[in-house]
Chain A
Amino acid sequence: MRYHTPTTFAEAAGIAAAAQGVTRFLAGGTDVLVQMRAGMVLPDDLIDLKKIDGVDRIDPTPEGGWRIGVAVPGIALGAHEALRADWPGVVEGMELVGSTQIQGRATLVGNLCNGSPAADSVPGLVAAGAMAEITGPDGGRVVPVADIPAGPGRTTLQPGEVISALLLPPRGTAGGDAYLRFIPRTEMDIAVVGCAVNLRCDGDTVTEASVVLGAVAPTVVSVPAASAAIIGTALDDTALGTLAEAASAACRPIDDKRGTIAFRTEVAGVLAKRAARIAHARAKGENA
């Protein structure tokens, strides 16, 4: 295995584009090293991104959003008060990843690019409308995070392409987001269902909403019908009921020992309601 430590994203993309065999980027390594250990993935070229300037930074963008470096671990995301104030749902999704030790290493970008349908930080990023800044061998492009996952373990990134930052939009006024997952215990487990809700209010009335589910289909799924169910409402019981039905209807889950199809489908509706209530309270400036 060749271990590379490029100092720019262009160099990283160049190494990846020229590589012939199995290639992996190394952010926190909490997926890559486990896969290496299991013999599932034995990279010929491992490209460590942590020597690139700025990858450990969280910076405000000129538009009023946030630019998050690809090597920012969960623990640093959680410690950033201003980011948490803007996007508590994004931060709490990442903070659910693994243990304290895993939080010391694991990144948002690694969580996204590993391609697990149950990745805990991805629904929150998609609901927030986050963008991925990509550097490729022939230049750059910026795409919605929602367009990156392609199926279990797969992304839409082309050979040689590397994500060089994640961009969160400006929070704006009266907005709130939240992420909840169901696991059979309190810590250290893979989501059976995950749900993120991001919304904006005018008084009590929801004016914009985005509902995104994890672990119930081959990729995260945005559920426009669920968003539509709560827009124009003050999250009364009827609206929440329609929201839950729409969320459940969007599920195409697997059936396994951790959750049957029926269970996952039902829980998706329950989590959508609960996450919507939390996001609503946050949008109105209440502590939730």
Chain B
Amino acid sequence: MSKVHVTTTVNGDAVEFLADPRETLLDCLRDHVGLTGTKEGCGTGDCGACSVEMEGVLVCSCLVLGVEANGKRVDTIEGMSDGHDLHPLQRKFIEHAALQCGFCTPGFLVAAKALLARSPDPTEEEVRYWLAGNLCRCTGYDKIVRAVMDAAAEMRQEAA
């Protein structure tokens, strides 16, 4: 099985790796690029733990082949904080205790960030629908939704 040379931009950095064409972007990020913040919950598009943005579009990295990322920009959870300065969503998740085991958290954060980029003032219903593809077995979702709403409010103030 010949490997394919893939050139991408991950969180702003040029990244190259060799991928078996059957490998998912999720596997490539974790195993070849060494970015293990993106998690695998199901591997079949149901749980959203593997959420990343590709060319600014929210996707499940378990449903994208590594070779499909060739020439594309990929943004993962590792690019979310500014060094040690946490993103408002990350801070609000901690403040609201919106995580327990934390396995779903990177996916929720990446998905929520994509929502707030297009809809800075979402309703609770909008947040719940947008995040319907992210599953959490621990929190019961309420704290997650509250954290997202609160982060959105703070980000609107900062922007104002």
Contact = CB atoms under 8 A, between A and B. Distances in A.
Interface of A: 1-3, 26, 28-30, 33-34, 36-38, 46, 48, 50, 73, 75, 98-102, 104-105, 186-188
Nearest to B71: A51
Given A73-B57, A100-B132, A101-B45, 12 more contacts: A28-B63, A29-B63, A29-B65, A46-B21, A48-B68, A98-B45, A101-B60, A104-B57, A104-B59, A105-B60, A186-B132, A188-B132
Contacts of A38: 44
Interface in B51-65: 51, 54, 57-60, 62-65
Given A99-B132, A101-B48, A3 B4 contact: yes
Given A1-B21, A3-B4, A100-B58, A34 B132 contact: no
Contacts of B24: 33
A102 B21 contact: no
B148 interface: no
Contacts of A73: 57
A98 B133 contact: yes
Contacts of A33: 24, 45, 62-65
Contacts of A3: 4, 21, 65, 67
B45 A30 contact: yes
Nearest to A42: B22
Interface in B27-68: 43-46, 48, 51, 54, 57-60, 62-65, 67-68
B65 A101 contact: no
Interface of B: 1, 4, 21-22, 24, 43-46, 48, 51, 54, 57-60, 62-65, 67-68, 111, 114-115, 129-134
A105 B133 contact: no
B4 A100 contact: no
Nearest to B67: A3
A283 B129 CA distance: 28
Nearest to B64: A29
18 contacts: A1-B21, A26-B68, A29-B64, A30-B45, A33-B24, A98-B133, A100-B58, A101-B45, A101-B51, A101-B58, A101-B59, A101-B60, A101-B133, A104-B54, A104-B57, A104-B58, A186-B132, A188-B46
Contact of A1 (B1, B59, B132): B1
Residue among A73, A102, A104 facing the most chain B CB atoms (10 A cut-off): A104
Contact of B63 (A1, A50, A105, A187): A105
B111 to A, nearest CB: 7
Contacts of A188: 46, 132-133
Given A36-B22, A104-B57, A187-B132, A99 B48 contact: yes
Contacts of B59: 101, 104-105
A105 B43 contact: no
